[in-house]
Chains A and B, each alone.
Chain A
Amino acid sequence: MGRRELMNLGKKILNFSIGMLILLLVWQIIKIIGDYPEALLPSPVNVAHTIIEMIVDGTLLVHLQVSLGRFAAGYLLAIIPAVILGMLLGRMPRIWQIVDPIIQVLRPVSPIAWSPFIVLWFGIGNMPAIVIIFIAAFFPVLLTTVAGVKKVDKNYLKIAENMEMNRLELMVKIIFPAAFPSIVSGLHLALGSAWIFLVAGEMVGAQSGLGFLIVDARNTLNLSGVLAGIIFIGLLGFILDRLISLFERWVGSHWGISS
């Protein structure tokens, strides 16, 4: 890492801290001006207490691990078939013309809408959350993969023909890498939407995880617990997004898309 990058990183951290500080300040001011009781809007200090407590007594770690496990399972189960299916459908325009409308009808439906069926078919526990994350992650990856495959430069296909590549080689050596930047941007989109639905998924019959933590805190009228849960989810989502952005940037520079 060069001096310039280090300075950039420092600047970013500074910006982040300033933003967070302003958020805390606004929160505290609202609390003071509105004179809201603790049962309506907990103060930052109280929430900070709860957060520290949860970190120290280990509850956070337990629920965090469970949530991340479910998230990883649902996300990976979604993206692997979505990429493979997208690569095949992108190469079969006639079939895609038929499949596309189906996808376009299914896609706008919030994964939560399926929850009655999900509980019926998959029971409670880990499965509902995993299935909901699966639904949330599947469509963005499928659609961007198909789009990426369809816009692969015709010259690359000609090169493949010229090299007498078979179908598998064509997929592995040409189509997949050529569509990879699109696929990664789909992975990024999917990561965001799937993370949003993690909480919702864990509100459907789960007994653990960050989503459950919020439901449980609400049930005991522990509002600073609810806010603590919200903060964890927000921060973690932010970190995940940064990580995949880094990956996306690496892909971009490696593929010569951005300088």
Chain B
Amino acid sequence: MMAEQMISVSGVTKTFTNNGKPTNVLDQVSFDMKKGEIVTLLGKSGCGKSTLLHIVGGFLKAEEGTVYLDNQLVQRPTKKCVTLFQQHNLLPWRSVLKNVGLGLEGENIPEDEKKVRVMDAIKLVGLEQYLHQFPHELSGGMQQRVAIARAFAMQPDVILMDEPFAALDTFNRYHLQDELLRIQTQMKTTILIVTHDIDEAVYLSDRVLIMSSHPGRIFKELEIQQTKPRDRTQGDFLYYRKKILEQFELSGTNKAPEYMI
């Protein structure tokens, strides 16, 4: 099967002005993603990975460079590419059912089909017991599951995730990572994840893009050739983990001098 290109980022440069001083956040970033791929942008906080995700999602404009999604230039956010944030993804005044249905409200499809799609998405994340619950009645992990359900209900080409599991405890995080992989294998959605968690990157992705900071660049690309689901304690997993850590040391831009007199 020939995999088609889904995302194509080329030469993206972004500068923020901080106290009158321009800082180069992203410098000539380019990468591609194939359809159905899971790719993570891995980097330390402040390396511009979140900014990059916002540019891919159409929320921010790059000064230079272009982003193409399914061969169309990205200029603003669209329903074809849904972004999930670390938290506050849900509208607190809407029940689980209404939150998941939000993305389909404007769609020109029959009501019955909408209902089926919403229910299917909720079943996918195993929350059919909580249809009429409100977000504040759910745990953080359940809230993210609702957000994931909403994204998949929209049947987008791409889902972008900005540290989606960072606010969760370890057990919940592992559980949700498994859920995400399971759903993705079923739906074949292209997913781009931003994270600073090396384990998460190795566990989820087909490819890891390691970013260096100041300015943000893609420093190294690493393909994880291991079948999913992966074993977090197995040798190969640790091998990739070690390799990534080594890369971070090589990138070394943030390394503080150990002795300063």
Contact = CB atoms under 8 A, between A and B. Distances in A.
Interface of A: 153, 155-156, 158-159, 161-165, 169, 173-174, 177-178, 180, 254-256
B77 A164 contact: yes
Given A254-B134, A256-B134, A162 B106 contact: no
B93 A177 contact: yes
A169 B89 CA distance: 18
A163 B106 contact: yes
A163 B79 contact: yes
B136 A256 contact: yes
B102 interface: yes
B59 A163 contact: no
9 contacts: A155-B87, A161-B58, A161-B77, A162-B79, A162-B82, A162-B83, A164-B78, A180-B93, A256-B137
Contacts, number: 55
A160 to B, nearest CB: 9
The interface residues of chain B, by DSSP majority, are classed as: loop
Interface in B74-128: 76-79, 81-83, 85, 87-89, 91-93, 102-103, 105-106
Contacts of B103: 163
A155 B89 contact: yes
Contacts of A256: 92, 134-137
Interface of B: 57-59, 76-79, 81-83, 85, 87-89, 91-93, 102-103, 105-106, 134-137
A159 B91 contact: yes
B67 to A, nearest CB: 15
Contacts of A173: 91, 102, 105
Contacts of A164: 77-79, 106
B109 to A, nearest CB: 15
Contacts of A155: 85, 87-89
Given A256-B134, A256-B136, A158 B83 contact: yes
A161 B102 CA distance: 12
A156 B79 CA distance: 15
Contact of A177 (B78, B91, B106): B91
Contact of B92 (A162, A163, A255): A255
A256 B91 CA distance: 10
Given A164-B78, A177-B91, A254-B134, A158 B85 contact: yes
Contact of B93 (A162, A165, A169, A255): A255
Contact of B88 (A156, A165, A174, A255): A156
Q: Interface centre among A153, A174, A256, by most B CB within 10 Å?
A: A256
A156 B83 CA distance: 12
B105 to A, nearest CB: 8
Contact of A161 (B76, B106, B137): B76
A163 B135 CA distance: 19
**Pairs of residues from A and B, 10 with the lowest C-beta to C-beta distance, nearest first:** A256-B136, A155-B88, A162-B77, A177-B93, A161-B77, A256-B92, A255-B92, A255-B93, A153-B88, A155-B85
Contacts of B79: 162-164
A30 B164 CA distance: 67
A53 to B, nearest CB: 49
B75 to A, nearest CB: 12
A164 B92 CA distance: 20
A169 B106 contact: yes
A153 B151 CA distance: 19
Nearest to B88: A155
B136 A161 contact: no
Contacts of A178: 91, 93
A161 B88 contact: no
A156 B58 CA distance: 15
A159 B78 CA distance: 10
